[in-house]
A = this chain, B = another copy of it.
């Protein structure tokens, strides 16, 4: 209708990126990357190159505007277009969601016959580190702009890691007791 922009498939990652732009307005790729790290990272992880490649894709399809700075790093600044906002809102309003997916290499190794002991100890450390990290982001978010989407996501992330730690505890206990 409004322009002969290339049709692309909007994926979860596309929406994640647009949601960030929706919350914070104009951003460079680097800003996007940072914002994702301190918000939805836990529930939708992406490699940092996504913050460079995906906006270009979305812009080509008309969901984002892009202007490149003249000097210096010649960064591109992205913002949602009307079409982008609409697509995001429509998607968010729909009741269908794909089932959640977990990828856990520790479990995979255990499945392949590995001894859980060391792997699990590292994993516990990892979750604890994540908890600290998220609590840090949360503290910043509260000081900053009050209550927003990022904050809710961070709270959920904290709950998630706590539950995972409980799960590890429980599995360790039962395998000690029940074997």
Contacts and interface: CB of A to CB of B under 8 A. Distances in A.
Give chain A's interface secondary structure class. helix
Contacts of A150: 111
B12 A111 contact: no
A171 B152 CA distance: 10
A91 interface: yes
Interface in A108-142: 108-114, 118-119, 122-123, 126
A101 B100 contact: no
Contacts of A126: 99
A29 interface: no
Given A16-B108, A149-B113, A103 B43 contact: yes
Nearest to A98: B105
Nearest to A102: B102
A155 interface: yes
A7 interface: no
A25 interface: no
A88 B18 CA distance: 40
Size band of the interface chain A makes with B: 35 or more
Contacts of A105: 12, 97-98, 100
Given A111-B39, A113-B149, A103 B104 contact: no
Interface string A81-107: 000000011011101011111111111
A164 interface: yes
B122 A95 contact: yes
Given A45-B103, A100-B102, A103-B43, A109 B92 contact: yes
Contact of A159 (B19, B93, B100, B170): B170
20 contacts: A15-B112, A40-B107, A40-B111, A43-B102, A43-B107, A43-B111, A45-B101, A45-B103, A92-B109, A92-B114, A95-B118, A95-B122, A97-B106, A100-B102, A100-B104, A102-B160, A110-B156, A111-B149, A156-B167, A163-B166
